[in-house]
Amino acid sequence: MAKQPPLPLSPTRWPVEKQRLAFFSTVEKIDVREFDRCQFGLCRLWLQLFRFSRGQGAEGMERVPISAKSSPELVRQQNSSLVLSALRRHGRMAHTQISDATGLASATISAITADLERAGVIERSESLSVAGRGRPRVLFSQRRDYGYLALLVIASDNIEYSLVDYAGTLLDRFVEPRGAGGPEAFLTQVSVALRRLLTRSRIGHEQLLLVSVSSKGLVDPQRPVLVWSPVFGAQSVDFSRAMEPGWRVLLNNETLLVAGALMDCEEKRLATEVAPFRASERRLAALSLGHSIGLGIARASVSGITEILAPNFGHMLHAADGGLCRCGARGCVEAYAGFYAILRSAFEVPADTVPAKFVPIAEVDKLAVRARRGGRQAVRAFRQAGLALGNGLSRLISLHGPMPVFITGLGSRYYDLLDAGLRDGLAESHVVRLGGMPQLTVVADEPSLVFEGHLSCAFAVVDQGIVDLAG
Ligand SMILES: [Zn+2]
């Protein structure tokens, strides 16, 4: 498990590389003007490619600066990206549908789909018309066995491993409890489990296109390194050390992925509106409640470029000289709103008691039952948590402007107990008194959002790698 240097795409990694290198030969003669006609599509493409550009760590993911490429080459790659991106968003599509979605000319699409098909990236299937008469329609879609992705969702108590094919179909999933020990033992466990994930589905190691990892905590923006995490604290975890030679790994903060998935939903909803007039920047926040407190912010500009951030909200100061936090500081939002903090407050344990690394959810459930029955200390503990979250959100809105807040995570099941305190905490700020309470929505199914966020981010990187390889 030696440390691997950042790897460029290599022939051992991409067994059909020669095919792929040739696959854009027929797209050379595209008129640059065609590119100008699909600015909207291009913006959506950048949305796909760069929206995760902050708050993520990646290994070997550097891109060639745009200015370093010639125009025909750039246009060729961008048009191919548009086609791959459209297929990713809409699933199986006919030629005319791809043209409508991308704004590209029919001849261009024919050339691109032919080359992608020849390279084994996409495949065609036939669909009978609804009336059952006439010629069957030809539909294009990703070829499922082009390659595979491993998705790792790291929680305080376990790790979930999923295997998906190139079309995004979930093939296998298992969950393992986290073992004892420090980062080295943890990385060994990850490495063994990754091999098991592939072996169970009889997938060759060279067929793994990307390993996408998410965790709570702080992520290095340049490398797949967890800089701070609830379990290991400041002991950093370099995920590239758990990879085999040739494997690429991408690391994201978990709530960042949630914010990305929520923005995707918002984009789809807006796309169905009759007149999707977008006069202003769109923003949203995802607030994840649980053992730790996570926040993701997604901001989409009018031009379509989306930026997603995962600021260190849980460890933002709530009360000077306040309760001791797991990070070692005092008075963090998490030291009032994390599960351990709610229990500490309810049982009147001194606020300088070293917090537990992990609290069984059953204990918080029991406390919630007591609070719903009117138990005074339990009610007060949840209210205090709500106030800390509300104060934190008021600062967020004061700095970033009004935005809807989606509340998710295990702790969202206690939202009925947090709501009043959270609103009171928000209402104390000038910006909320002037502009009104932000829209607060509970989205209980956080695992689905994390999964969608993984797919969206990982495939944007993989598809861009395919296009870059051909350039
Ligand atoms: Zn803290």
CB 332, CB 318: distance < 8 Å: yes
* 315 CA distance to ligand 1 middle (Å): 4
Same fold, 146-256+449-455 and 280-438: yes
Domain range annotation of the chain: 17-143, 146-256+449-455, 280-438
* 320 CA distance to ligand 1 middle (Å): 12
Which token pair is 238? 């370099």
* 229 CA distance to ligand 1 middle (Å): 11
Q: Angle 378-361-420 (CA atoms, 0-180°, nearest 5)?
A: 40
Parallel, antiparallel, or unpaired: how do β-strands 56-58 and 148-154 relate?
Answer: unpaired
Q: Contacts by 317-326 with C-beta closer than 8 Å and gap 24+?
A: 318/388, 318/391, 318/392, 319/388, 322/351, 323/351, 323/352, 324/351, 324/352, 324/353, 324/354, 324/355, 325/355, 326/230, 326/233, 326/292, 326/355, 326/357
Q: Provide the residue-wise pLDDT of the chain in tens; the chain has 471 residues.
A: 443 333 332 222 322 332 233 233 222 222 222 322 222 222 233 333 333 333 344 454 444 444 455 677 788 888 888 899 899 888 899 999 999 988 999 999 999 999 999 989 999 998 876 666 677 889 999 999 999 999 999 998 899 999 999 999 999 999 999 988 999 999 999 999 999 999 999 999 999 999 999 999 999 988 999 999 988 989 999 999 999 998 999 999 999 999 999 998 888 777 766 544 455 678 999 999 999 999 999 998 776 678 899 999 999 999 999 999 989 999 999 999 999 999 999 999 998 888 887 788 999 999 999 999 999 999 999 999 999 999 999 999 999 999 999 999 999 999 999 999 999 999 988 989 999 999 999 999 999 999 999 999 999 899 988 887 765
Consecutive H or E run containing 118: helix 106-118
* 94 CA distance to ligand 1 middle (Å): 52
* 341 CA distance to ligand 1 middle (Å): 11
* 53 CA distance to ligand 1 middle (Å): 25
CATH 3.30.420.40 applies to domain 280-438: yes
Which token pair is 103? 């704004």
Pick the CATH number of 146-256+449-455 from 3.20.20.190, 2.60.40.1180, 3.30.420.40, 2.30.40.10: 3.30.420.40
Which token pair is 324? 């001791």
Pick the CATH number of 17-143 from 1.10.10.10, 3.50.50.60, 3.40.50.1000, 2.60.120.380: 1.10.10.10
* 319 CA distance to ligand 1 middle (Å): 11
